[in-house]
């Protein structure tokens, strides 16, 4: 298992990502530095990037996540899955090389590529040089989002007249058996969905574990950049991604700057680094934090206290006027900024109505 690390905020995050990769590789960790198809990282590194990992230094490999290549490789896996369940696959005449990329597909493909590199066991750390904005956070939240759709629409289907007909009618069962590669039972019919749920649960578990995934904020002393970093901080909590600390980029490293940022981002630790305009990274590397340690000590995005009948959400960067709470059955939905999070309550709290909600020390505390 790897630590997947990314950076959110100002444009200097690519240099921070390179410095972090080199620093961890020098410590003996096996590091993969991954980026989407952009000339920026290639220019900064001074080496051509390829869609397959290549070693550029001891313990350090780099890869360019090209959507066109990822969709071809992913399509072959989809065709194998279809053939597993359908006796007459319909996708076998469609080829990955001809598929256009629809909006949003690139995020899913990149996330899946990171998952596969993580599963390979070849790396201790995977550093993803992302766009560093809300789209990156939505990408990390894909497993939770898809899980909600599968969970809710599966239940809607089961409760529908069509669902009841399929599961109860003796006339439909032989037809399903003739179409699928399995003898029909209700368990076999739900097998693909169960596989998807298991796959998504693993993704959600990895995202919620600071030993497996973490982000760090990158900002300057510009008030607008600080406000943006605070917004991304709160938004990261909404998708369940731990933010381990703040890296402040400024040519003038002063005590006043450190104190000002500490007030804005408490309780996160602040790491001050100097001017990043130089191609020399050694000074930058020396001032980087211990990413793994800080991530594990950071506030968790969500805490569920069953005995106290409370759910605590860490939502820095937002106030109660920016947060909307609704409850539907066993779930509570939290809207904050441009992010929405559905919390599937544990059995002990499921079905209990919300009795109160308040902000306390940057936490939204929901009582049942």
CATH number at residue 332: 2.60.40.790
- Residue 307 and residue 290 in one domain: no
Whether the predicted pLDDT of 186 surpasses 60: no
- Residue 49 and residue 115 in one domain: yes
Q: Per DSSP, which regions of 17-140 are E strands?
A: 31-36, 54-57, 60-65, 125-129
d(C-alpha 349, C-alpha 344), whole Å: 10
20: in domain: yes
- Residue 246 and residue 363 in one domain: no
- Residue 52 and residue 134 in one domain: yes
Give the pLDDT of residue 90.
59
77: in domain: no
Of residues 255 and 291, which shows the higher confidence score?
291
| Average pLDDT value over all residues in the chain | 83
114: in domain: yes
Give the pLDDT of residue 209.
94
163: in domain: no
49: in domain: yes
- Residue 247 and residue 362 in one domain: no
Q: What does the angle CA 158 – CA 162 – CA 164 come to, to the nearest 5 degrees?
A: 50
**Which phi and psi angles does 366 have, rounded to 5°?**
-110, 125
Give the pLDDT of residue 306.
94
How many domains is the chain built from?
2
**Which phi and psi angles does 35 have, rounded to 5°?**
-150, 155
- Residue 217 and residue 105 in one domain: yes
Between 20-24, 84-88, 300-304, 324-328, the lowest mean confidence (pLDDT) is in 84-88
- Residue 259 and residue 355 in one domain: no
Of residues 206 and 195, which shows the higher confidence score?
206
Which tokens is 79 given? 């065709």
pLDDT tens for each residue of 44-66: 898 889 999 999 999 999 999 98
Q: Is residue 300 classed as helix, strand or coil in its secondary structure?
A: coil
On the question of a cis peptide bond just before residue 267, with omega within 30 degrees of 0, the verdict is yes
**Segment 16-34 mean pLDDT:** 96
- Residue 18 and residue 142 in one domain: yes
**Segment 95-112 mean pLDDT:** 74
Which tokens is 281 given? 């990274």
**Segment 332-353 mean pLDDT:** 88
- Residue 265 and residue 321 in one domain: no
Question: What range does the domain containing 107 cover?
Answer: 3-71+98-146+203-297
pLDDT tens for each residue of 124-183: 999 999 999 999 999 999 888 888 887 777 666 556 655 555 555 555 555 545 545 555
How far are the Cα atoms of 115, 243, 299 from residue 345, in angstroms, in the given order?
26, 23, 20
Q: Is the dihedral of CA 70, 73, 75, 77 positive or negative?
A: negative
Whether the predicted pLDDT of 94 surpasses 90: no
Last residue of a domain, one of 297, 317, 340: 297
51: in domain: yes
Radius of gyration, alpha carbons of the chain = 23
Residue 302 pLDDT class (50, 70, 90 cuts):
very high
Percent of the chain with pLDDT over 90: 48
174: in domain: no
Beta bridge partners of 35: 64, 129
How far are the Cα atoms of 28, 33, 38, 129, 218 from residue 57, in angstroms, in the given order?
11, 11, 21, 18, 25
- Residue 225 and residue 259 in one domain: yes
Last residue of a domain, one of 297, 322, 348: 297
- Residue 207 and residue 321 in one domain: no
- Residue 207 and residue 292 in one domain: yes
Last residue of a domain, one of 245, 280, 297: 297
């Amino acid at each position: 298992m790897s630590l997947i690390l990314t950076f959110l905020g100002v444009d200097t995050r690519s240099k921070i990502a390179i410095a972090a990769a080199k620093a961890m590789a020098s410590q003996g960790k096996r590091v993969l530095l991954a980026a989407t198809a952009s000339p920026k990282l290639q220019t900064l590194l001074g080496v051509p990037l390829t869609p397959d990992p290549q070693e550029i230094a001891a313990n350090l490999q780099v890869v360019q996540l090209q959507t066109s290549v990822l969709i071809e490789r992913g399509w072959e896996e989809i065709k194998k899955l279809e053939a597993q369940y359908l006796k007459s696959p319909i996708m076998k005449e469609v080829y990955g090389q001809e598929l256009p990329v629809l909006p949003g597909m690139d995020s899913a493909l990149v996330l899946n590529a990171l998952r596969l590199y993580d599963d390979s066991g070849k790396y201790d750390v995977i550093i993803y040089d992302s766009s560093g904005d809300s789209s990156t956070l939505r990408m990390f939240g894909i497993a939770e989002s898809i899980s909600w759709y599968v969970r809710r629409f599966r239940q809607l289907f089961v409760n529908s007249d069509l669902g009841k007909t399929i599961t109860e009618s003796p006339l439909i069962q032989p037809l399903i058996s003739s179409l699928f590669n399995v003898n029909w039972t209700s368990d076999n019919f739900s097998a693909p969905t169960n596989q998807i749920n298991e796959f998504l649960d693993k993704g959600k578990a990895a995202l919620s574990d600071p030993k497996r995934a973490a982000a760090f904020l990158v900002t300057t002393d510009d008030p607008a950049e600080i406000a943006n970093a605070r917004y991304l901080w709160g938004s990261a909590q909404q998708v369940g991604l731990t933010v381990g600390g703040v890296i402040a980029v400024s040519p003038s490293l002063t005590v006043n700057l450190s104190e000002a940022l500490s007030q804005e981002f408490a309780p996160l630790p602040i790491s001050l680094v100097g001017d990043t305009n130089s191609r020399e990274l050694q000074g930058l590397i020396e001032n980087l934090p211990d990413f793994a340690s800080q991530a594990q000590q950071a506030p968790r995005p969500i805490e569920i206290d069953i005995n106290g009948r409370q759910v605590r959400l860490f939502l820095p960067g937002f106030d109660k006027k920016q947060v909307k709470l609704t409850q539907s059955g066993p779930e509570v939905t939290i809207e904050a900024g441009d992010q929405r999070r559905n919390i599937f309550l544990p059995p002990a709290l499921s079905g209990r109505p919300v009795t109160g909600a308040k902000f306390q020390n940057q936490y939204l505390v929901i009582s049942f």
